[in-house]
């Protein structure tokens, strides 16, 4: 058997492993991000968006709290974006730092223990 035959895998073999992997990853990411979301809401942080996947949105909806729930094209992760974040990595926007103490729903204006709880919630939920 030469190397070219090893590299030429049938599409059914790739799908046999790739599709279950992406499904399992999506479930794990959803549970992880749900941990962040639930603790953030419990701490009074406003959540702007909850995304499974990255890139352009395939479809989404708004809940009664104003959170945009969405499914995106690249199913290799996800994120929860809080009020005051400049991006999905929770980097604070310039204006957020100035207004954080005045805005009760701003993530960056919360006490350190609440921010730590929100950040730790994802891995803790995955561990449980």
Q: Does 100 have pLDDT greater than 60?
A: yes
Catalytic residue among 33, 57, 95, 98: 33
List, as own/partner pairs, every contact residues 116-120 make where C-beta atoms lie below 8 angstroms and the sequence separation is at least 24, other chains included.
Answer: 117/39, 117/43, 118/36, 118/39, 118/40, 118/43, 118/45, 118/82, 119/36
pLDDT tens-digit map of 3-51: 555 556 666 777 778 888 999 999 999 999 999 999 999 999 999 999 9
Give yes or no: 95 in active site: no
For the chain, give the mean pLDDT: 84
Average pLDDT over residues 104-110: 82
């Amino acid at each position: 058997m030469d190397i070219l035959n090893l590299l030429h895998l049938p599409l059914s073999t790739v799908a046999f492993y790739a599709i279950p992997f992406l499904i399992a990853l999506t479930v794990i990411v959803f549970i992880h991000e749900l941990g962040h979301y639930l603790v953030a809401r419990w701490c009074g942080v406003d959540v702007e968006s909850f995304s499974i996947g990255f890139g352009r949105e395939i479809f989404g909806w708004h809940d009664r709290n104003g959170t945009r729930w969405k499914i995106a094209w690249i199913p290799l992760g996800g994120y929860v974006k809080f009020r005051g974040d400049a991006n999905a990595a929770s980097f604070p926007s310039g204006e957020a730092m100035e207004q954080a103490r005045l805005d009760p729903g701003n993530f960056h204006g919360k006490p350190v223990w609440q921010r730590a709880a929100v950040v730790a919630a994802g891995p803790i939920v995955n561990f449980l």
